[in-house]
Amino acid sequence: MVDVGKKDETLRRAVATGQIRMASETLAAIMAGNIAKGDVFATARIAGIQAAKQCASLIPLCHTLLLSSVSVDFEADPELPGVRVMAACSLTGKTGVEMEALTATSVAALTLYDMCKAIDRGMVIEDIKLESKTGGQSGDWGRAPSC
């Protein structure tokens, strides 16, 4: 692990996004609450938050962090068709939270797949990426808007 002992504590925040493509009928079933396993978004939100909190157990050499905030949000997109996932993590600490936000996004998308696989095994999880990060020695970073 990288030694962060001499680094200053700063407010750090990271946002990651991803999406899961699915059949239009699957998205309609989610929106109507007709998924046999239950509330898809509530379950995926909890899974994403838990994943962010367990990041150091999942990703080798990640520091264990005392997160001050984790949010996981979803946007149904009929044009995709599918669901867009966004996770944001923050803390005041000596190392960033990019991996926690990416892990939350990934596990939330995996949970969406798990909740819906009985009706749609063709779903595709894609485009998981860091959107922005703030704080730390390297300063702020944000993804350039795509054309």
Could you list the active site residues? 114
Q: Would you give the end-to-end CA distance of the chain in angstroms? A: 38
pLDDT of residue 102: 98
Q: Which of 45, 97, 102 minimizes the C-alpha distance to 67?
A: 97
In degrees, rounded to 5, the angle at the alpha carbon of residue 56 between the alpha carbons of residues 54 and 58 is 70
Question: pLDDT digit string (tens) for 67-85?
Answer: 999 999 999 999 999 999 9
Please say if the pLDDT value at position 144 is more than 60: yes
Please say if the pLDDT value at position 94 is more than 60: yes
> pTM of this prediction?
0.94
Please say if the pLDDT value at position 120 is more than 80: yes
Alpha-carbon distance of 17 to 139, in angstroms, equals 20
Question: pLDDT digit string (tens) for 103-114?
Answer: 999 999 999 999
Please say if the pLDDT value at position 147 is more than 60: no
Torsion angle of alpha carbons 91, 17, 102, 74, nearest 10°?
A: 80
Cis peptide bond N-terminal to 81, omega within 30: yes
Question: pLDDT digit string (tens) for 35-57?
Answer: 999 999 999 999 999 999 999 99
Alpha-carbon distance of 102 to 133, in angstroms, equals 11
Structure tokens at 80: 């995709």
pLDDT of residue 136: 87
Pairwise pLDDT comparison (137 vs 61), residue with the higher score: 61
10-135 falls under which CATH superfamily? Molybdopterin cofactor biosynthesis C (MoaC) domain (3.30.70.640)
Please name the residues in contact with 118: beta carbons below 8 A apart, sequence gap of 6 or more. Answer: 36, 37
Sequence spans of domains, the chain: 10-135
Count of CB atoms situated within 10 Å of the CB of 23: 15
